[in-house]
Amino acid sequence: MVDLGEIARAVGEEYLRTHRTTPFQREALQDIQRCRTEAMGSAYAVCDNCGAEHLQFRSCQNRSCPRCQAEARRVWLEAREQELLPVPYFHVVFTVPESLNVIALYSPELFYAELLRAAGKTLLDVGKSKLGARLGCMTVLHTWSQTMWHHPHAHCVVPGGGFSEDGSEWISVKKASYLLPIDVLRSRFRTLLCRALRGALKRGLLGRMPKEISAAEAIRKAAKQKWVVYAKAPFAGPEQVLEYVSRYTHRIAISNRRILSFANNQVTFEYRDRADGSRKKLMTLDAVEFLRRFLVHVLPDRFVRIRYFGFMSNQKRGKSIARARELLGGLEPPPVQERPRWLVLCPACRAAAAAERAVRAADPRSLRSPPVASAA
């Protein structure tokens, strides 16, 4: 099976010679090139299927590597499940105009932080003015489209209600299918983010911009546009919230399963065309261009892509969740879900599992056993 590491090893050096890169992009590229290869060294492991002991190359553990986030995702999900409330959960997406993308490219730490902050504060401000409640929300940074174009936006998960001003009452949304007015959210988000970017420009924090590009002009142009903010249908239940959001929290740009082939310096991958009913389609790119699109989405070191606001903020979350459950009838959190564990397989068992998957794929009528995840 083709993976990102194979592509990075084949054209990574050429990419570094011909493209400008940041230190964190170079580190991610190097780690992905070395992940689960001899360069990382090896250790003995026991096969979860047959019990045989075998040598296994170590993983890089870089958060941008598509092969190294399964365990981190599982741990995050289990921790967050204990914080779910028995209320409807809403999904709101805040998108910025394309004219601001250039600021994100040259000042990613500042731009992405202000994007998440503006999205969270927008929900809190509008929740207070329109619902009369102190809301809480989780914001997740997402910077790519299905074809890996630069497309910064924030996915926000919002419990359907919040606390009264004095904290003595839980105020629920008026309708289970409606959170807050979109036009108000859109206007407030535009105001907050443009104000923050103008302030950063005034303080000289956007100095990395090339001289031929005007940050002030980019902000001015964006401020005149109608921004895209939309609320998706509420989740069917609290248990679906985290499974959905975790698709964005522990991967970037593309997963290995979407990469179908790599030959003659051409990469073919699968994507969903949102403009065509989310139908699956294929795209083929030059390998260097494929790598360029991927590396655009590598975040600065230690940048926190998941942030919490309102009563869900880190300092308040534990007490706020307990108080909310008390006001909502004292219900306990749902039990932690049992999820498939990432299995460690020896080469023989891994080959047998791959052969079985190939047979099932060739005959869709056959009965399918539960999926087996391999460590390599």
> Angle 19-22-24 (CA atoms, 0-180°, nearest 5)?
130
Q: Please, what is the average pLDDT of the chain? A: 88
- The string over 237-265, giving b where at least 16 C-beta atoms fall within 10 Å of a residue's C-beta and e elsewhere, is ebeebbeebbebbbbbbbbbebbeebeee
pLDDT in tens, 84-133: 898 889 999 999 999 999 999 999 999 999 999 999 999 999 999 999 99
What distance in Å separates the CA atoms of residue 75 and residue 195, rounded to the nearest whole number?
37
* CB-based contact 171:311 (threshold 8 Å): no
Residue 51 located in a structural domain: no
The per-residue pLDDT for 38 is 87
Summarised one tens digit per residue, pLDDT across range 7-39 is 999 999 999 999 999 999 999 999 999 998 888
Between 114 and 177, name the one with better pLDDT: 114
For residue 334, pLDDT over 80 is answered with no
161-163 vs 170-172, strand pairing mode: antiparallel
Spatial contact of 155 and 320, defined as CB atoms under 8 Å apart: no
Structurally, how many domains does the chain consist of?
Answer: 1
pLDDT digits (tens, 9 = 90+) for 233-244: 777 777 777 777
Please tell me the number of Cα atoms within 13 Å of 227 on its side-chain side.
31
Q: Side-chain half-sphere of 61: how many Cα atoms within 13 Å?
A: 4
36 in any annotated domain: no
CB 310 within 8 A of CB 60: no
Q: Is the model's pLDDT at 366 over the cut of 60?
A: no
What the block records as the tokens of 95 is 């998108």
Q: What are phi and psi of 275, to 5 degrees?
A: -75, -10
Q: What's the pLDDT score for residue 370?
A: 42
Helix (H) / strand (E) containing 269 = strand 266-273
Report the range of poorest mean pLDDT among 78-82, 200-204, 312-316. 78-82
Q: State mean pLDDT over 66-92.
A: 84
Query: How would residue 375 be classed by pLDDT, with cut points 50, 70 and 90?
Result: very low
Question: Is the CB of residue 70 less than 8 Å from the CB of residue 54?
Answer: no
Residue whose tokens read 């980019």:
218
Residue 356 has pLDDT above 90, yes or no: no
Using pLDDT thresholds of 50, 70 and 90, give the confidence band for residue 367.
very low
Residue 211 lies in a domain: yes
54 or 268, which is more confident?
A: 268
Q: Give the least confident one: 65-74, 85-94, 266-275, 306-315.
A: 65-74
CA angle in degrees (0–180, nearest 5) for 349-350-355: 95
55 domain-assigned:
no
Give the model's pLDDT for residue 369: 39
180 has a pLDDT exceeding 90: yes
Query: Does residue 362 fall inside a structural domain?
Result: no
Give domain status of residue 219, yes or no: yes
Task: Report if residue 358 sits inside a domain.
Answer: no
CA gap 115, 122 in Å, rounded: 11
**Residue range of the domain that includes 176:** 70-253+296-327
The residue ranking higher by pLDDT, 75 or 338, is 75
Which range scores top for mean pLDDT: 47-61, 72-86, 120-134? 120-134
Residues whose CB is less than 8 angstroms from the CB of residue 355 and which lie 6 or more positions away in sequence, other chains included: none
Q: Is residue 181's pLDDT more than 60? A: yes
